[in-house]
Amino acid sequence: MFSLNTTTFLNNSLSGVVLQQQRRVAAPPLVVAAAAANGRKGGDQNVTVLVENSVKEIRDASPAAVTPVEKESKLNVSGGVGDVYGEDTATEDQSITPWTVSVASGYPLLRDPHYNKGLAFTEREKDTHYLRGLLPPVVISQELQVKKMMANIRQYQVPLQRYMAMMDLQERNERLFYKLLIDHVEELLPVVYTPTVGEACQKYGSIFRQPQGLFISLKEKGKILEVLKNWPQKKIQVIVVTDGERILGLGDLGCQGMGIPVGKLSLYTALGGIRPSSCLPVTIDVGTNNEKLLNDEFYIGLRQRRATGQEYAELIDEFMSSVKQTYGEKVLIQFEDFANHNAFDLLANYGSTHLVFNDDIQGTASVVLSGLIAAQKLVGGTLARHTFLFLGAGEAGTGIAELIALEMSKQTGAPVEETRKKIWMVDSKGLITRSRMEGLQHFKRPWAHEHEPVRNLVDAVKAIKPTVLIGSSGAGRTFTKEVVEAMASFNEKPIILALSNPTSQSECTAEEAYMWSEGRAIFASGSPFDPVEYNGKVYASGQANNAYIFPGLGLGLIISGAIRVHDDMLLAASEALAAQVTEENLEKGLIYPPFSIIRKISAKIAADVAAKAYELGLATRLPEPENLVAYAESCMYSPAYRSYR
Ligand SMILES: O=C([O-])CC(=O)C(=O)O
Ligand SMILES: [Mg+2]
């Protein structure tokens, strides 16, 4: 019935003659289709909205990205435009004509978080979109809405209440949610992300309101392709997936781990500028071994113990191939909070066939390496002069260690087998040594060096005399007074990183690190700590959290059309982040820049990652833009309201 085919329409628009195209298609067929599909006459509740858009997104439009309108009650512009950012791309030329979008109007418009503006709808919009009487008379700005929401959120004393208020906002008015998060990033990051997200996952069943991502359980085996089709957005660029087995340092939270992909992806948008409609949170539910959850009447997941072996592998494999089939090979899949025994294998199994990235192995490694590079300006010398000791030899610890060894090898020219010898690890059985080689998991073996057995951390610190102590154990309060004092006894400025999350699992607090080292430690932690006063001096500490890295890394992969993640990209990201640390930051003992400038940082990381992708021949988006930083910035999602005309 709708004879004008969407492919032709979009192909024509690629010519860039958008204005003419708009006129030529007098009654935009997509809109007619949308209205009809909704079973209504045009002009009823589903009307055309003209949204100002950029020439770039229209130029980028690819027929492959077209959303099948038949299935939609509205045509969402984000489903039909550019590969990179769609509707939210910064406008290169404001004079270019609008693109046509149909969104619901009237009451459904107020209920659609992607388009709702609450009290910010203009008088004209109220007239043209059947909103008269549905809203009170006032029209307020988005800035005033932000002010009001911040005042509301600050009234809550309990972090989880703040989290829920933010989630409600995300469900109600997505742009306002992102505006709040971007404008108040330092205050709201601990609310929507670590540490509060950890508590939210623990209580996810009780606070569950709306699904925020896809749940793929063993019940969906054999049907994952169909499940992906049920998700309303079609042009997905980033997926964060967990199986909930190792949520932060909190252990197995099963299906309730969903809070993590949701939180990570809201950071992809707020910090890295990836548009929300192209982000997909996924939780794979193969059961849980958490007895408490299995006995919790509000638990939302499969009530069975974890499937393992072939059953597990088959579900993951079906997921991975369905994702590639549905979204193509350039969709970024971020593995998050898988247990060690799966995390390494997943990366190894899919690293050469999919665009995959493990945030806990690679993202954490990149952010820690960056902090260490910056710290050299405080302690003098190079990375290679250091001796490193890790507590915790899992995905985070060994991932960081390997990246440090690679960087040392790059700096000194020594083979990586040599530089690894400067890195030691303690696990639950004590120092990892050659004598333990037999029983060691494969990812621990490169760190087994010749040494007599050492049972615990404090003895290992005394024996190895590290200059850098890194906690990646998931076990809180393990950097005891004795450990920190030992570090401070043979280092003028001991570097101490307590990376485990959330705050309860941190190996020590900022206060402990400064107090026990008499204010000499260079300290950073995975979860945030407030500044500490010690001996009349205020000590701030940095947050060594992968949130500095993954949003910019993801943006860089997307804007270059990268098809694989390479270690050199992680090194590039580390260096880009370290370069953002100013003298002023260092004077305060900070080895990370403030999160308040994270979007600028993400653009720089993205540019350097993209440059590396081009250099390595892994980029497919050609030609390479001349100014990658400017290009990355121009691609970033803006949460400002658009006018509906
Ligand atoms: O989520 C965070 O804050 C950092 C992270 O990846 C983890 O601890 O697993
Ligand atoms: Mg994680």
Pocket of ligand 1 (CB under 6 A): 194, 248, 337, 359-360, 501, 526, 545-546
In terms of pLDDT, which residue wins out, 5 or 428?
428
* Alpha carbon nearest to ligand 1 atom 3, residue: 194
Q: How far is the CA of 329 from the centre of ligand 1 (A)?
A: 26
Q: What CA–CA distance (Å, rounded) separates 393 from 439?
A: 14
> Mind listing the pLDDT tens digit for each residue in 172-184?
999 999 999 999 9
Give me the pLDDT at residue 105, please: 87
Give me the pLDDT at residue 645, please: 74
Strand 522-525 versus strand 214-217 pairing type: unpaired
> Mind listing the pLDDT tens digit for each residue in 522-541?
999 999 999 999 999 999 99
Residue 60 has pLDDT above 70, yes or no: no
Hey, which residues are catalytic here? 193, 264
Give the closest residue to 600 by CA, choosing from 182, 109, 229: 182
User: Which atom of ligand 1 is found nearest the CA of 263?
Assistant: 1
Residue to probe by mutation, ligand 1, list 334, 507, 527, 546, most atoms within 8 Å of CB = 546
Number of residues written out for the chain = 645
Q: Rounded mean pLDDT of the chain?
A: 87
Residue 275 has pLDDT above 80, yes or no: yes
Please name which ligand lies nearest the alpha carbon of 545.
1
Give me the pLDDT at residue 29, please: 27
Residue 501 labeled ligand binder = yes
* Alpha carbon nearest to ligand 1 atom 8, residue: 248
| HEC secondary structure over 588-629 | CCCCCCCHHHHHHHHHHHHHHHHHHHHHCCCCCCCCCCCCHH
Asked if residues 364 and 446 have their Cβ atoms less than 8 Å apart, the reply is no
> To 10 degrees, the CA torsion angle through 134, 138, 144, 145?
-10
Q: How far is the CA of 110 from the centre of ligand 1 (A)?
A: 35
Residue 32 has pLDDT above 70, yes or no: no
In terms of pLDDT, which residue wins out, 71 or 233?
233
Q: What CA–CA distance (Å, rounded) separates 493 from 466?
A: 11
Q: What CA–CA distance (Å, rounded) separates 539 from 524?
A: 11
Q: How confident is the model at residue 26 (pLDDT cuts 50, 70, 90)?
A: very low
Give helix 174-183 / helix 259-270 axis angle, nearest 10°: 70
- In the chain, the largest separation of any two C-alpha atoms, in whole Å, equals 81
Residue to probe by mutation, ligand 1, list 196, 197, 357, 359, most atoms within 8 Å of CB = 359
Reduced to 3 states, what is the DSSP secondary structure of residue 484? helix
Q: How far is the CA of 50 from the centre of ligand 1 (A)?
A: 40
Give me the pLDDT at residue 560, please: 98
* Alpha carbon nearest to ligand 1 atom 7, residue: 248
> Mind listing the pLDDT tens digit for each residue in 455-497?
999 999 999 999 999 999 999 999 999 999 999 999 999 999 9
Q: What CA–CA distance (Å, rounded) separates 533 from 546?
A: 27
Query: What's the whole-number mean pLDDT along residues 359-385?
Result: 97
Please name which ligand lies nearest the alpha carbon of 336.
2
Q: Backbone phi, then psi, for 424, in 5-degree steps?
A: -120, 155
Query: What's the whole-number mean pLDDT along residues 378-382?
Result: 93
Asked if residues 176 and 145 have their Cβ atoms less than 8 Å apart, the reply is yes
Reduced to 3 states, what is the DSSP secondary structure of residue 517? coil
Q: How far is the CA of 253 from the centre of ligand 1 (A)?
A: 14
Q: What CA–CA distance (Å, rounded) separates 344 from 93?
A: 46
Query: What's the whole-number mean pLDDT along residues 118-127?
Result: 97
User: Which atom of ligand 1 is found nearest the CA of 194?
Assistant: 3
Q: How confident is the model at residue 102 (pLDDT cuts 50, 70, 90)?
A: low
Give me the pLDDT at residue 53, please: 35
Residue 63 has pLDDT above 60, yes or no: no
Burial state string for 581-616 with b = 16 or more CB within 10 A and e = fewer than 16: beeebeeebbbbbbbeebbebbbbbbbbbbbbbbee
State which amino acid sits at residue 347: L
* Alpha carbon nearest to ligand 1 atom 2, residue: 194
DSSP 8-state symbol, 508: S
Residue 76 labeled ligand binder = no
Residue 360 labeled ligand binder = yes
Q: What CA–CA distance (Å, rounded) separates 229 from 126?
A: 34
State which amino acid sits at residue 232: P
User: Which atom of ligand 1 is found nearest the CA of 246?
Assistant: 9
Q: How confident is the model at residue 572 (pLDDT cuts 50, 70, 90)?
A: very high
Report the run of H or E that residue 321 belongs to, with start and end: helix 309-327
Q: How far is the CA of 546 from the centre of ligand 1 (A)?
A: 7
Give the closest residue to 472 by CA, choosing from 410, 402, 550, 532: 402
Instruction: Determine how many CB atoms are found less than 10 A away from the CB of residue 507.
Output: 31
Residue to probe by mutation, ligand 1, list 364, 473, 548, 595, most atoms within 8 Å of CB = 364
User: Which atom of ligand 1 is found nearest the CA of 249?
Assistant: 8
Residue 55 has pLDDT above 60, yes or no: no
Residue to probe by mutation, ligand 1, list 201, 248, 529, most atoms within 8 Å of CB = 248
DSSP alpha helix (H) spans, 104-248: 107-110, 123-128, 142-155, 159-172, 174-183, 185-192, 196-202, 204-207, 224-230
User: Which atom of ligand 1 is found nearest the CA of 546?
Assistant: 4
Please name which ligand lies nearest the alpha carbon of 198.
1
Q: How far is the CA of 499 from the centre of ligand 1 (A)?
A: 9
> What distance lies between CA 40 and its chain's CA centroid?
39
Predicted complex ipTM exceeds 0.90: yes
Angle at 514 between CA 509 and CA 516, to 5 degrees: 90
Give the closest residue to 597 by CA, choosing from 548, 556, 534: 548
Q: Residue 211 burial by CB count (10 A; 0-12/13-18/19+): exposed, middle or buried?
A: exposed
Handedness of CA 91, 92, 97, 101 (dihedral sign): negative
Give me the pLDDT at residue 161, please: 98
Query: What's the whole-number mean pLDDT along residues 344-360?
Result: 97
User: Which atom of ligand 1 is found nearest the CA of 527?
Assistant: 3
Handedness of CA 198, 500, 245, 557 (dihedral sign): positive
Please name which ligand lies nearest the alpha carbon of 500.
1
> To 10 degrees, the CA torsion angle through 517, 519, 522, 524?
90
Full-prediction pTM beyond 0.95?
A: no
Asked if residues 22 and 57 have their Cβ atoms less than 8 Å apart, the reply is no
Q: How far is the CA of 248 from the centre of ligand 1 (A)?
A: 5
Angle at 547 between CA 571 and CA 240, to 5 degrees: 95
Q: How far is the CA of 145 from the centre of ligand 2 (A)?
A: 32
Residue to probe by mutation, ligand 1, list 473, 506, 545, most atoms within 8 Å of CB = 545
DSSP 8-state symbol, 450: S
Q: How confident is the model at residue 101 (pLDDT cuts 50, 70, 90)?
A: low
DSSP 8-state symbol, 28: -
Q: What CA–CA distance (Å, rounded) separates 116 from 105?
A: 10
Q: How far is the CA of 581 from the centre of ligand 1 (A)?
A: 22
* Alpha carbon nearest to ligand 1 atom 6, residue: 360
Give me the pLDDT at residue 132, please: 97
Query: What's the whole-number mean pLDDT along residues 303-317?
Result: 98
User: Which atom of ligand 1 is found nearest the CA of 264?
Assistant: 1
Asked if residues 341 and 444 have their Cβ atoms less than 8 Å apart, the reply is no
Please state, for a pLDDT cut of 70, what percent of the chain lies above it.
84
Asked if residues 255 and 217 have their Cβ atoms less than 8 Å apart, the reply is yes
* Alpha carbon nearest to ligand 1 atom 9, residue: 248
Please name which ligand lies nearest the alpha carbon of 242.
2
